[in-house]
Amino acid sequence: MTEEKKKRPRGFANMIYKTVLPLNDDDRFKEKYKDIKSKILMNAVDGKYAALVIIDNGTIDVEGIVNKEKNDLKQEVLGWDAKLETTTELFLKLAAGELGTGASLVKIITRKLKIKGLNQILELFALLEPENA
């Protein structure tokens, strides 16, 4: 038995973890991201856990961050490069492709969908599309 067993994320972070985990077995992903280091915070504001997606030299992992104190999710604390913040319901609609461009823009303008580092967020969504994953 190993001394250091990796703790699986909980809640919303676990859902993201299960979604991105298969990318670690994808040779195209490993090749494309072999020299990339990036952290993307995905925060479901109504959930107990936020997900910190870490891309590190061809591997992808997710850490669950307790979503209690807003200060704990700041860029200075976690070192994230991009952030996507909204409700769990809106995350699920984004993932299912139920939210079109116009509806997304309305959500951004009304601050129901908060994005920092748009290019990294779009890259992550592209990775999760069925033909790429």
Q: CB count, 10 Å around CB of 14? A: 15
The CATH architecture to which 12-127 belongs is 2-Layer Sandwich (3.30)
Per-residue pLDDT of the chain (133 residues; tens, 9 = 90+): 444 456 788 899 999 999 899 999 999 999 999 999 999 999 999 999 999 999 999 999 999 999 887 778 999 999 999 999 999 999 888 877 788 778 888 888 888 999 999 888 888 877 776 555 4
- Give the C-alpha separation, 97 to 92, whole Å: 9
pTM of the model: 0.84
